[in-house]
Structure 1
Amino acid sequence: MSDTHLAEKTHHVLETTRSARSGDGHHAEKGHAHHILSDVEVEHQLEEMGYKQEMKRSLGMVAVLGLSFAIMAVPFGTSTTLNIALTDGGPVTILYGWTFVSLVSLAMAASLAEICSVYPTSGGVYYWAAMLSTPKYSAFSSYLTGWLGTVGNWTVTASINFGGAQLILAAVTLFHEDYVPTAWQTVLVYWAALIGAFLINLYGNRHLEMLNTVCLYWTAAAVIMIIVTLLATAKTGRHSGAYAFSHFDASFSGWPNGWAFFVGLLQAAYTLTGYGMVAALCEEVKEPQIEVPRAMVFSVIAAGITGLVYLLPIIFVLPDIEPLLNVASLQPMPLLYKTVTGSAAGAMGLLTLILGIWFFAAVGSLTAASRCTWAFSRDGGIPFSHWWKTVNPKYDVPIPALGLSTIVCALLGLIYLGSSAAFNAFTGVATICLGCSYAFPVLCSLLRRREQVKDAPFSLGKFGYVINITTVIWITFSILLFCFPTAIPVTPTSMNYASVVFAGFSLIAGIWYLVNARKHYKGPMVSQHRNEQAPVHHT
């Protein structure tokens, strides 16, 4: 096949959509924007992309939207990373940083959604990179992107569970101000959270759709109750609009003002990363070529609005920043709740709402990480892949991949025993790795003039080039940006260990590539078929 066309088998998605639009084959119902595929057609679609149907298709768009929203977990994510934005500018960084990153994330989500609508498989970014690259570089592109995406999924899961563990111990300080959580206590709570998420994913898989749907309602209710309570009590008073919309103080960071603002964007960028992870569930969704792309885009829109509704009232009642940055737990939000409400019990009630959101995020992130690990193993991308690629027919869960993801995250927690900056390392690595894995397929599509996505069911149309270029430029800049420490001069506590963790995983991936994958990893099955076939000329 020529380099400028899709592989013969993957054309089925587009041909099905085109036939539906033109009235051929199955007729779309009047008023429907697309042809609704039967389970058999969707299964046949997957087979033509090189895989057999192993997972049960039981999820709809709302469930995937809920999962994406759960992984981003806006009130939880912005709360656990609040110290970053407070250090690097305060109100201006929190408000305008969130707004800017939300808009850029929408461009990123739309770029991925377009590609996902053409290749709706759980392989996600590594499959897309293989199919959008030229045959010569297909396998390496797939391998590189697969590792970035997998590590990104693992570290997002680690950061979510770790942030929750810190919040739980910070809750103790609401009633015992002299209590200082030890590193071992934090790690033990973190491991307990991982085990809980593992068990729910294993035994509650059939209830994940309900769980992700409940997450949407819980988050909405939690945000309303928190902001109403904070604005109504406001024991420390309320700031003026001038303070909320224009106050900037980077004195805690040591960075020049302009640069401090950009470093502080990690709060928003980390929170708004989970939308691409849901591609790993494509093979559990009834109409993945339509529903998963929609869920990606809608979840970012919902998250952006939720973030503004949650953060702006907090800025108006924000107490003195310095005490918040000096908390022993490294999590300032519980103290903020206590200071503003004037009540430890009231703060605990609000924190419980945030921990509820964390519960959904912890379960959902491990779900996505396990499916990503399973999909990449299916094509031989991870050492000893034959162990991790099996699906348990009793539970409809890739139990080995679920276990591997849990164990890797558990081992990452040991970093905290050596440095209290481990959480910032997880957030940085997650943002960098997922960003890289998102950018690579988009860049490949751009370099090949968007030929493979020109007939995508979820099309960006004439805005495609602008949206794709915006995505690549921002991610390239953010990779460098989020390797910087949040404050200078650098101390063992403030050091950004993201580059260290990233280098460690890169070393593992590089060694495995030289030892095994260079000779044996050929990329997804369809890309192998494409590379082996003589050119096919379409009429």
Structure 2
Amino acid sequence: MLGFASTCIASWEGILTYLSFVLTDGGTALLFWGFIACAIGQTAVYASLAEMASISPTAGGQYHWVSEFAPRRYQKLLSYLSGWLTAIGWQMYLASVCFLVGTIVQGLIALNTPDYIYERWHGTLLSIAVTFFCIPFVTFFASRLPWVEAGLLVIHIVGFFAIVGTLWGTTTPSNARAVLLQFYNGGNWPTTGLSSMIGLIAPMAVLVGYDCSVHMSEETQDASSTLPKAIMGSVLLNVTLVFIMVVTICFCLGSPEAALGGVTGYPFIQMFYNATGSYAAANTLTAIPTIMLAGCAFSEVAASSRQLWSFARDKGVPGYSWLSLVSPRWNIPLPAVIVSLVISALISLINIGSSVALQAITSFGALATLLSYYLTIATFVGFRMRSSKLPERRWSLGRFGMVCLIKMPAIVAAQLIVLTGKLVNVFGLAFLSPLIFFIMWPLTRPVTASTMNWSPVMLGGVLAIAMLFYVFKGRHEYTGPVVDVKRPELGVSHPQ
């Protein structure tokens, strides 16, 4: 599960692919300081989710927890919205990683073929090809996926050191003051501060999605203990790797303008070529994150399809009777896998008409996922306020920094442990609030139809469809998983 979570997000590989966002708004200084801020805030968010995963380890994840902890009056509607937000987020992240692999391959073609004419529809076709490439790994070889994940974890770590070592060995480090203290406003915004808040989409995007382990919980042994360890272990491992990669990028990138102005469409490919001066070396280094992102696509098909299957099992989406089926031959939710792959292929068509398709897809997925985190943690905080006792769990936020309480009276220690959990939850909510707002902004001004960030419009459209389904059918059939939950330790059939 640690390998699954690490490869499913592919954080240090992802920060390479999102460099154009942060180099446009904020520069290397924002990449460094922004990542530190996002890592601290997201750790609090995932610590909150890890505790809920220990309480209720289920493939539904966020929508199950909202159903369990929201007030009875709003429980069904909030859980339904959370299920849609989580499903949207994972479908978009699957689409984005397939898009990344396809367009990185296109970038390598442009680097190695001087007379190549860069057409956006070429990238779309390559993205669809990557989607089809995932099919055998999530069907015929589904039972071998854990071994694939273990192998990818090795490449994830070994490839990291290969790239970092090469960059430090072939470049002259830039001036520390310039790369760490000079912020850049390439988006033509009124202030550099505003530009930097918009540029946070890059360091934030690689820290979204570590709930992926949760959606595999019903295929995990000893899930109530394994899931929190997998979530927090993957956060710790990948934050460390990304931070080292961020420092390497800041000092080894060279001229940001030169990296942004390359023919590949990806500054990191140009950075590899500028550092080594060799097409072969640049191709080899680029192949490492490309292979990892392809493996990430396998993992995200698994996570997104399981979440969709779980939500369909609770009658939360149209066609739930078909989407909730499990193939007896491969023991996987085959209809949900098919729908996930089709959605990924269709989303890649955005690239044909938009020059900022990657930002639109990435911010759409991040927006939906962050909103699901926010809604989930908010209902958990509300439950903590209403109830003096939490359900039993094997992993608790109160264990952070609580060793010093061993000699205190039990009642004092218990109160401080509860307070620690609430503070972590509230801090996570406070951190998410401004990021959710700024993640919806376009990267540059003036804003045109082709450069607009359409993620809030797309999210609003999908949620409108969801609410229409809820009004006419869903509210009569969707009850939320809380009706099947019993908590004898709380003395109630479900924690209301």
| 1:424 partner letter | Q
Separation in structure 1 between the aligned mates of residue 204 and residue 193 of structure 2, nearest angstrom: 17
State the TM-score, normalized to the length of structure 1: 0.84
CA contact (8 A) 1:422 1:497 kept: no
Alignment correspondent of 1:195: 132
Give the ranges of 4+ consecutive aligned residues of structure 1 lying more than 6 Å apart after TM superposition: 534-538
CA contact (8 A) 2:28 2:183 kept: yes
Please tell me whether residue 247 in structure 1 is matched to residue 182 in structure 2: yes
| 2:126 partner letter | V
Separation in structure 1 between the aligned mates of residue 330 and residue 281 of structure 2, nearest angstrom: 41
Q: Trace 1:468-483 onto structure 2 (pairs within 5 A).
A: 468-483=425-440
Encode CA deviations 1:61-112: one digit per residue, 9 max, x unaligned: xxx1111111221232111110011011211111111111111111111000
- Residue 289 of structure 1: which of 218, 224, 231 is its match? 224
Please tell me whether residue 112 in structure 1 is matched to residue 49 in structure 2: yes
CA contact (8 A) 1:338 1:346 kept: yes
Separation in structure 2 between the aligned mates of residue 126 and residue 366 of structure 1, nearest angstrom: 19
| 1:190 partner letter | S
Separation in structure 1 between the aligned mates of residue 263 and residue 111 of structure 2, nearest angstrom: 12
Please tell me whether residue 513 in structure 1 is matched to residue 466 in structure 2: no
How far 1:180 sits from its partner (Å)? 3.5
Please tell me whether residue 456 in structure 1 is matched to residue 393 in structure 2: yes
CA contact (8 A) 1:127 1:524 kept: yes
Q: 1:503 to 1:326 in 2, by over 3 A?
A: farther
Please tell me whether residue 466 in structure 1 is matched to residue 423 in structure 2: yes
Encode CA deviations 1:421-469: one digit per residue, 9 max, x unaligned: 2211111011111111112121111112264636421111122111101
State the percentage of identical aligned residues.
27
Separation in structure 2 between the aligned mates of residue 168 and residue 179 of structure 1, nearest angstrom: 13
How far 1:321 sits from its partner (Å)? 1.6
Separation in structure 1 between the aligned mates of residue 391 and residue 307 of structure 2, nearest angstrom: 27
Alignment correspondent of 1:30: none
CA contact (8 A) 1:130 1:527 kept: no
| 2:164 partner letter | I
Q: What are structure 1's unaligned runs of at least 5 residues?
A: 1-63
State the TM-score, normalized to the length of structure 2: 0.91
Separation in structure 2 between the aligned mates of residue 520 and residue 537 of structure 1, nearest angstrom: 19
Q: What are structure 2's unaligned runs of at least 5 residues?
A: 399-416
Separation in structure 1 between the aligned mates of residue 190 and residue 306 of structure 2, nearest angstrom: 40
Separation in structure 1 between the aligned mates of residue 450 and residue 356 of structure 2, nearest angstrom: 5
Q: Larger deviation: 315-324 or 450-459?
A: 450-459
CA contact (8 A) 1:155 1:426 kept: yes
Q: Trace 1:396-411 onto structure 2 (pairs within 5 A).
A: 396-411=331-346
CA contact (8 A) 1:73 1:361 kept: yes
Please tell me whether residue 489 in structure 1 is matched to residue 454 in structure 2: no
CA contact (8 A) 1:253 1:486 kept: no
- Residue 122 of structure 2: which of 178, 185, 206 is its match? 185
How far 1:247 sits from its partner (Å)? 2.7
Encode CA deviations 1:132-166: one digit per residue, 9 max, x unaligned: 01222221111000000000000011111111111
Separation in structure 1 between the aligned mates of residue 456 and residue 362 of structure 2, nearest angstrom: 11
Separation in structure 2 between the aligned mates of residue 536 and residue 83 of structure 1, nearest angstrom: 51
CA contact (8 A) 2:111 2:264 kept: no
Separation in structure 2 between the aligned mates of residue 217 and residue 460 of structure 1, nearest angstrom: 30
Separation in structure 1 between the aligned mates of residue 425 and residue 265 of structure 2, nearest angstrom: 37
Separation in structure 1 between the aligned mates of residue 2 and residue 306 of structure 2, nearest angstrom: 16
Q: 1:324 to 1:390 in 2, by over 3 A?
A: same
Alignment correspondent of 2:28: 91
CA contact (8 A) 1:266 1:482 kept: yes
- Residue 145 of structure 2: which of 196, 202, 208 is its match? 208
Separation in structure 1 between the aligned mates of residue 12 and residue 450 of structure 2, nearest angstrom: 25
Alignment correspondent of 1:347: 282
Separation in structure 1 between the aligned mates of residue 392 and residue 479 of structure 2, nearest angstrom: 27
Please tell me whether residue 377 in structure 1 is matched to residue 334 in structure 2: no
Q: How many residues matched?
A: 470
| 1:188 partner letter | L
Q: Trace 1:132-211 onto structure 2 (pairs within 5 A).
A: 132-211=69-148
- Give the root-mean-square deviation of aligned CA atoms: 2.0
Q: Larger deviation: 397-406 or 308-317?
A: 308-317
| 2:443 partner letter | T
- Residue 214 of structure 2: which of 265, 279, 293 is its match? 279
- Helix, strand or coil at the partner of 1:495: coil
Q: Larger deviation: 449-458 or 109-118?
A: 449-458
Q: Larger deviation: 299-308 or 239-248?
A: 239-248
Alignment correspondent of 1:500: 457
Please tell me whether residue 435 in structure 1 is matched to residue 366 in structure 2: no
Alignment correspondent of 2:266: 331
Alignment correspondent of 1:358: 293
